[in-house]
Structure 1
Amino acid sequence: MSRKLVRIGVSCGVLFASAAVAMGAGPQEKKESDKKKEQKLVVTGTSVVEPAEPPSDSTTDGSVTVGGQAVAYRAVAGTLTVGSSDSQDAMMGLDGKLLPDTGEKAPDPEKPEEAPATARMFYVAYFKKDAPVGRPVTFLYNGGPGSATMWLHMGSFGPRRVVTTDAQHDEGAPYKIVNNDYSLLDVSDVVFIDAPGTGFSRIMGKDKEKAFWGVDQDAHAFDRFIRRFLTKYNRWNSPKYLFGESYGTPRSAVLSAALQNVDLNGIVLLSQILSFDNSIDGPKWNPGVDQAYALGLPTFAASAFYHHKLPTQPAALEPFLAEVEQYAIGDYMSALLQGAELPETRKQAVAEKLHQYTGLPVTYLMRANLRVTGAAFSKQLQLDDETTTGRLDTRYKGPDIDPLSADAEYDPQSNAISSAYTAALNQYMRTELKYGENQTYKPGAYGDPDFTWDLRHQAPGGPPANFQEGGTNVMPDLAYTMKSNPKMKVMLAGGYFDLATPYFEGKFEMHHLQIPQKLQANISYHYYQSGHMVYVNEDVLKQFHADVAAFIRGTEDGK
């Protein structure tokens, strides 16, 4: 085993698994991460002990207009405390306190750091007023790992939406917070959940980081949260949906297996990665596993198409991508699999074909041995203009920081929109939802000097996590859920310009699930001319809402 516990060296807090997380950092990355850790330790200082009592929930009333129809709702912003194990969780009431007659000794209030680890998970739930019994409920969360859910909350299906400039850097505050014409409240109640240690969620107790920051630890915390939520709000008999974005997609796979006896109606996977060996972020640290290069090629092609960097510009994007997909899993993958045995003449021919599909120079492709990572592509596509191409959304671009570096040093899309989302979330939460007084909202856990992520995972029926071989892969979890609950449907959505989790990677993973062929019919595919956060493009958000709403309407009766 080479990838067990990974320290996150990312500081930008935007819903994606970094190359270090997805593939395991090489010596250079580890050294830089250690430097960042030391710098953060200097400025962070002494840890703050969290208060024993959670803040009070806040309940407010509101209305949103969707499709010309007003939807009155009740919003609850609050927390639910979950244990770090099922046995511990079972001894806690909904208030997070030890139940009487458990035989367990209550934690010493004077020594909270010695108490068993718990997570106080923050959520905002929106309930349509006067709704019929059996109304669907959808649980939404972003990824990271280590990201709060402000992106989905303020950008996709909540009742309010922050307005950003599509594919451009915003001009700055004040940002517009508007009625969300595309809120999902027209078809489902929605619950936005911040992962442990992010947003207003907090982790507490002994070994709290080990208890909640990891593939399995995180998913089981969400499992316990959802069960507590269903109990608190009497929603056990409601149609239930999971909606995860980015790292939220592997969370959904593991979570769905943990929730197997709950029988979900559906799962929406936005910007999927289930097998980290497929990540285009860092395949150079995983030599011999070449499929990530092939799965990223269609996104390279879409990006070059958008920026008019192709030698010959195709008439339309989607037919062009269909051609590239076939080449990627055919001749290109075949060439990569030959490794050093690939004849020079064929290598030259493949490089020339890649030039036609990516716009990158043939000489560069030959020097790269036909293998280009996502960060290298972001740097090279618009190199002549001293411009870096976006990662989360390749439609975005920004000035090079170091024109001589081989890889992109930052993500222009993250820089373009992060301030708007952070400001809007804080403004909305504190003024309209009346929550967050005297608290800090953490867009991500990346600033915590102790933030690590345990990539070990035990699949249903698989070997113990300590015996895991290869990269993290939760495809068996989703397959297990689909076989255990053959009526459940899965909606896969993605953006053509997403270089963090290329859309073709998600399609490839779905086509390789270990499920009967007939269950493939339970999966639907939706792709959009946008990036990782497909909803930043308002035209796409409109269609995305229509697609998700249709998915829920078509599955809420269990058919």
Structure 2
Amino acid sequence: MITQLKKVFPILLLLPLFFLKAQEKKEDSLSVPEAKSFVTKHEIINGGKTIRYMATASETYLKNEKDKPVASIWSVAYTQEGISDLTKRPVTFIFNGGPGSASVWLHMGMFGPQLVKVNSDALKDDGAAPYNLITNKNGLLDLTDLVFIDPVGTGYSRVVGKGKVEQFWGLNEDAASIAKFMRQWITENNRWLSPKYIAGESFGTTRAAAVANALEKGGQNMALNGLILISQALDYAGSTSVHDNITSYLTYLPSMAATAWYHKKTGQGKELKAFLNEARDFTYNVYSPALYKGSLLSDNEKNELAEKLSYFTGLNKDYILKSDLRILMPRFQKQLLLDRGLAVGRLDGRFMGDEVDKVSETPHLGDPADYQISSAYTASLNHYFADKLKIKMDHPYITSNDSIGNKWRWRPVPDGKFWEPSAVNVARKLAETMKRNTEMKVFVASGYYDLICPFFDAEYTFSRNGISRERVKMGYYEAGHMMYTHEPDFLKLSIDIREFLSN
């Protein structure tokens, strides 16, 4: 017995050390390194003026109620130097959507000091490196400072310490974190009296409306001067093409007509805008009541509707009848150019993808409007960060994080409060914010060939929900979701945003 105790005793002595080491290791895994910051100085000509500016690429830690960091938000801020009165200098916060997308697209495609140029006419894949980076001579740094934000899980942003992704991956959670970051940035940079704007794209417009609302709360009411909504998605009933969603059959039809016109499948000999006015009129006055009648339609009525839908979409009348007069967008993508074995893009109907499976019901390779340009954006941003901004990080920059969408919490109300699942809609939040903030204006940019956030949905959404239309301006472009990939529309959008900020 004594011999056994002698053998066990050294082990008993070592156990406290083992647990201490384990505890130290656990604490080390939750330790938060010092936030990184990279500052460089540059010069650019925007708006006919030479602008000296500072680029600050940095991590900002968001803290919990115990004052412990739980998330690191990566941002790149471009601020003009030599400004004596910052109260007159606007600042615009910019982010993309997803959810799960970093700000790379608006950074390298529209607002940043350097841009990557992809094929303007969507006629070919941009392939592999090298890619063409140019100075953004049509930028806005003469008018406003710019702050590009990557939400948690995108770019270099991530949870830290005891943070959990569940605290940030949700409609309300995401808006709260971005609002918190904006307040911190404004406070640290002494910009509370500066005019403030948000520019968002796609889900980034959902986020923009939610953030504008969140900024009114939390004991630090921050009123915004304006929102720039690129390819808006405020009411998801109009941008979700699924069976039995009558709203989406209506909102997508004019964009189908535009895309069919672009590919010369219909509407030839007519100007695009005139053809789309026909499509609008048909959608509101004929197609809408017909969809609500459903099986109560007579055979003659169904045949007449199928002929008219074929006229607008370029699809075969028999196919439309077999579809029960209801065309899902993924099927339209595959059917429009079926005779050529091509699928049209979802983000931009101008793009075409050569499918391996020519007879699949829907595109199976993905979205050609995405995969034909995404590598150019990713490579260009990484090169720009390293070469111009001198950024060195120990983990990769995530341009698109698909796992976020799979885990995203869409519930708009707190746990414990009754909620019956429905399509996401932040349009009424925007309407309420605009009623409380009577100075806030909104600019909405829509591409005619956007087959995911259709331009007609923007019109449908902003004509409802109590939104103050007199403070909303609409802009239209002959391209898709990222209309700035089309050079003429990049220039037009630049002018339109410049006018919006100036006025």
Structure 1 length normalisation: TM-score? Answer: 0.80
1:144 to 98, 114, 117: 98
Task: Tell me what 1:283 maps to.
Answer: 242
> What's the CA shift string for 1:15-67, capped at 9, x where partnerless?
xxxxxxxxxxxxxxxxxxxxxxxxxxxxxxxxx96862144201100112224
1:156 aligns with 2:116: no
* CA drift at 1:479: 0.8
Q: 1:465 to 1:137 in 2, by over 3 A?
A: farther
Match of 1:496 among 430, 436, 448: 448
Give the AA of the match of 2:349: T
Q: Aligned pair 1:551/2:503, yes or no?
A: no
Counterparts of 1:95-134 in structure 2, within 5 Å, are: 118-131=70-83, 132-133=85-86, 134=88
Cα pair 1:457 1:465 within 8 Å, conserved: no
Residue 18 of structure 1 corresponds to none
User: Which residue does the alignment assign to 1:33?
Assistant: none
Q: Structure 1 counterpart of 2:334, which letter?
A: K
Aligned match of 2:147: 191
How much does 1:342 deviate?
2.0
- Asked whether the equivalents of residues 275 and 474 of structure 1 are also in contact (C-alpha less than 8 Å), the reply is yes
* SS, match of residue 118 in structure 2: coil
Contact 1:445 1:451 in 2 (8 A): no
Give the letter aligned to residue 265 of structure 1.
N
Aligned equivalent of 1:382: 337
Q: Which has the higher contact order (CA 8 A, sep 6+)?
A: 1
Distance 2:30 2:331 in 1: 42
CA 1:207/1:321 → structure 2, altered by over 3 Å: closer, same or farther? same
Q: Which residue of 2 aligns with 1:428?
A: 384
2:114–2:133 Cα contact (<8 Å) kept: yes
Which residue in the other structure is 2:476 paired with? 527
- 1:225 maps to what in 2? 181
Gaps of 5+ in 2: 1-27
**1:465 Cα deviation after fit:** 5.8
Q: CA RMSD in A?
A: 1.9
CA distance in 2, matches of 1:464, 1:472: 19
Cα distance, 1:534 vs structure 2:
1.1
SS of the residue corresponding to residue 65 of structure 1 reads strand
**Which letter maps to 2:111?**
F
Opposite residue 553 of structure 1, the aligned amino acid is S
Aligned residues of 2:35 and 2:60 also touching (Cα < 8 A): no
Say if 2:208 is the partner of 1:256. no
Shift of 1:189: 0.4
Q: How many residues align?
A: 467
How far residue 464 of structure 1 moved from its aligned partner, in angstroms, is 7.0
Distance 2:169 2:271 in 1: 43
Please say if residues 458 and 468 of structure 1, whose CA atoms lie closer than 8 Å, have aligned partners that are also in contact: no
Flag the 1:422–1:355 CA change in 2: closer, same or farther, 3 A.
same
- In our comparison, the structure showing a higher alpha carbon Rg is 2
Cα distance in 1 for residues equivalent to 2:206 and 2:483: 18
Equivalent pair of 1:430/1:437 in contact (CA under 8 Å): no
- CA–CA separation in structure 2 for the residues paired with 1:522 and 1:348: 42
Q: Distance in 1 between matches of 2:170 and 2:196?
A: 25
Q: Is the 8 A contact 2:30 2:162 kept in 1?
A: no
Secondary structure of the corresponding residue to residue 372 of structure 2: helix
Match of 1:408 among 363, 373, 396: 363
Q: CA deviation at 1:205?
A: 4.8
Partner Cα distance (2:174, 2:196) in 1: 20
| Alignment partners' CA distance in 2, 1:438 and 1:487 | 43
In structure 2, how many angstroms separate the alpha carbons of the residues matched to 1:400 and 1:309? Answer: 19
Contact 2:199 2:228 in 1 (8 A): yes
CA deviations over 1:169-212 (Å, ceiling 9, x no partner) = 11321112111112121210000000111001012355712111
CA contact (8 A) 1:139 1:192 kept: yes
Q: Identity over the aligned pairs, expressed in percent?
A: 37
**Is 1:333 aligned to 2:288, yes or no?**
yes
Name 1:273's counterpart in structure 2: 233
Relative to structure 1, the CA distance from residue 248 to residue 334 in structure 2 (aligned partners, 3 Å threshold; closer, same or farther) is same
In structure 2, which of residues 259, 263, 268 is the aligned counterpart of residue 307 of structure 1?
Answer: 263
SS of structure 2 residue aligned to 1:315: coil
Q: Which amino acid aligns with 1:438?
A: D
Cα contact 2:54–2:80 (8 A) shared by 1: yes
Equivalent residue number for residue 5 of structure 1: none
- Residue 80 (structure 1) shift: 1.1
Cα distance in 1 for partners of 2:238, 2:29 equals 40
Structure 2 CA distance, aligned partners of 1:76 and 1:201?
15
Q: 1:381 to 1:138 in 2, by over 3 A?
A: same
**Contact 1:81-1:120 within 8 A present in 2 as well:** yes
Which string of whole-angstrom CA distances, capped at 9 and with x for unpartnered residues, describes residues 497-545 of structure 1?
1001001101110110224xxx310000001011101111122111111
Distance 1:411 1:60, change over 3 A: same
Relative distance call for 1:524 and 1:50 in structure 2 (3 A) is farther
Query: Any runs of at least 4 consecutive aligned residues in structure 1 with deviations exceeding 6 A, and if so which?
Result: none
SS in 1 for 2:55: strand
CA drift of 1:278 comes to 1.5
- TM-score w.r.t. the length of structure 2 is 0.89
Is residue 472 from structure 1 mapped to residue 424 from structure 2 by the alignment? Answer: yes
Helix, strand or coil: the match of 1:454?
coil
Q: Kindly state the Cα deviation for residue 553 of structure 1 after the two structures are TM-superposed.
A: 1.1
Point out the more displaced range, 468-477 or 232-241.
468-477
CA-to-aligned-CA distance 1:127-163 (integer Å, 9 cap, x gap): 0112342200000000001101100000101111011
Distance in structure 2 (CA, Å) of the matches to 1:419 and 1:49: 33
Alignment of 1:358 with 2:313, yes or no, is yes
Which SS does the other structure have where 1:294 is aligned?
Answer: helix
Please say if residues 91 and 195 of structure 2, whose CA atoms lie closer than 8 Å, have aligned partners that are also in contact. Answer: yes
